[in-house]
Amino acid sequence: MRNSIKIIFVASVAVLTVFSGFVNAEMILIKNAKIHTLGTLGTLAKADILIVDGKISSVGIELPKSAEMKVIEAAGKEITPGIMNAATALGLVEVGAIKSTVDDESTEKDYSASFTIAEVIDANSSLFAHNRINGLTRAMVIPDSHNTLFAGRGSLIKLQSDMQPVVLADNAVYLNYGERGASIAGGTRALALMQIKEMFNDVKEHAANSKDFKAKSMLKDRDIEALGPMFRGEIPLVVTVHKVNDMLNMLAIQKEYSLKMIFNGAEEAWKIAEKIAMAKVAVLMDPYSNLPGSFETVANRSNRATLLNQAGVELIFSNGSSHNAYAVRLGAGNAVGYGLSWHVALAAVTSTPAKWFGIGDSYGTLEAGMDADLVIWDGDPLEVTTSAEQVFIQGERIDMVSRQTRLRDRYLNKTALPPAYSK
């Protein structure tokens, strides 16, 4: 059963000082775990983690305990950083088919690159608790504009319930190319490419001389402003693109402007893996996706993550789901089944997206100074029969309850009264 982690209160903690609101340092010591640090220490077979005030204070073997620490005996269980899904609509969707509960999709044409969803991400969504108790602690939340090539800007969140989910606002820009981009641009990839080049030219001219600048492309001033950080290489441009020659065209743009670029989808990327690796472009993909579902993914294949990794391409995983965004870790496990290294697969749902989306200095590895986002698993962290036994986000020990667990308990433990009376 679930409650096998024993919390030992070594001493009373948290003495409140009433006049300042200052709380004494909260210290949690997790003992005797198999720790996948994803940092310089690698995997430690039997080690401890000390959390102080929401951050990892140290990771090591037989860390000394003190009376102020809450001690958790992990008894050999495995610990990883909290899982990250790099493409979700968390906080922007409750029920997919009820459009009044969906806020990521825009059909507006006047807002493209400047479209931002940062301020409307709702941490009270039932999807937050469901995902965090299953091990997801970080996610990219991304816009989905239907009628513009630049779909807008995404933001990075943590999955606490504190109503301040955004860790980094507007930290990536999204661009559609391929069949979808062609359809938006007027029916042909040729137009889409021309428009993309015009837009980049505008951004370049604006960067060189904003005073005398006059837009020639379809971008509005606010969009050109919004593209500045991407153009300067400070944040990534995520391009949804699938087939080989489309990727080659995007690589040319990436080279011309020295962009920090991520290919999203990239089903045929394995065919030009060396070129992508050389350009230092990362690939964001769902390892379960292997079907040749369209004419731009005809060369999709099951072990493409393995081939990309062998060529040196950095991998970031997603699973196309918000309701089960946490299950991205199963995509990582599935990729291992197709030959990918286990640690590369785990990194693709933790440290690699952390680095690419700008939080690599605070999340993604289990090392001193990092936020204490971590999961104690009841088995192999990438295995399908494993679940999260205890999740921490920035040191907060998460209450492992969700609407789903309440539903389960209500119907599992039926009483004489109708289920509606059990809460």
CA distance linking residue 400 with residue 345, whole number of Å: 25
Question: Segment 331-370, which members bind another protein (CB under 8 A)?
Answer: 333-334, 336-338
Query: Based on CB atoms, which residue is closest to another protein, 40 or 100?
Result: 100
CA distance linking residue 49 with residue 36, whole number of Å: 11
Q: Is 323 in the site for another protein (CB under 8 A)?
A: yes
End-to-end CA distance of the chain: 20
Contacts of 357 (CB under 8 A, 6+ apart): 86, 140, 156, 168, 171, 172, 236
Q: Where in 321-382 does DSSP place strands (E)? A: 374-377
Q: Which of 5, 299, 368, 400 binds another protein (CB under 8 A)?
A: 299
Query: Based on CB atoms, which residue is closest to another protein, 143 or 331?
Result: 331
CA distance linking residue 375 with residue 2, whole number of Å: 14
Q: Is 105 in the site for another protein (CB under 8 A)?
A: no
Number of residues that bind another protein (CB under 8 A): 44
Q: Is 412 in the site for another protein (CB under 8 A)?
A: yes
How many Cβ atoms from other residues are within 10 Å of residue 212's Cβ? 8
Q: Is 164 in the site for another protein (CB under 8 A)?
A: no
CB of 129 to another protein, least distance (A): 13
Q: Is 96 in the site for another protein (CB under 8 A)?
A: yes
Phi-psi bin for 105: left (phi > 0), alpha (psi -120 to 50), beta?
Answer: beta
CB of 2 to another protein, least distance (A): 6
Q: Which of 327, 370, 372, 398 binds another protein (CB under 8 A)?
A: 327
Q: Which of 11, 98, 163, 208 binds another protein (CB under 8 A)?
A: 98
**Do residues 80 and 326 lie in contact, with contact meaning Cβ atoms separated by under 8 Å?**
no
CA distance linking residue 131 with residue 123, whole number of Å: 11
Q: Is 187 in the site for another protein (CB under 8 A)?
A: no
| Tokens describing residue 58 | 């140290």
Q: Is 411 in the site for another protein (CB under 8 A)?
A: yes
Q: Is 419 in the site for another protein (CB under 8 A)?
A: yes
Q: Which of 293, 341, 361, 401 binds another protein (CB under 8 A)?
A: 293
CB of 378 to another protein, least distance (A): 8
DSSP notation for 189-202: HHHHHHHHHHHHHH
CA distance linking residue 348 with residue 331, whole number of Å: 10
Question: Segment 370-399, which members bind another protein (CB under 8 A)?
Answer: 378, 382-387
CB of 399 to another protein, least distance (A): 17
CB of 289 to another protein, least distance (A): 7
Instruction: Choose the stretch contacting another protein; rule: CB under 8 A; options: 29-37, 81-89, 168-176, 319-327.
Output: 319-327
Judged on CB neighbours under 10 Å (0-12, 13-18, 19+), 18 is exposed
Q: Is 42 in the site for another protein (CB under 8 A)?
A: no
Judged on CB neighbours under 10 Å (0-12, 13-18, 19+), 195 is buried
Q: Is 124 in the site for another protein (CB under 8 A)?
A: no
CA distance linking residue 26 with residue 12, whole number of Å: 11
Q: Is 209 in the site for another protein (CB under 8 A)?
A: no
Binding mask 2-41 toward another protein (x if CB under 8 A, else -) reads x---------------------------------------
- Unique residue bearing structure tokens 């962290």: 381
Question: Segment 55-94, which members bind another protein (CB under 8 A)?
Answer: 94
Q: Which residues bind another protein (CB under 8 A)?
A: 1-2, 94-98, 127, 288-295, 298-303, 323-324, 327, 330, 333-334, 336-338, 378, 382-387, 404, 407-408, 411-412, 419
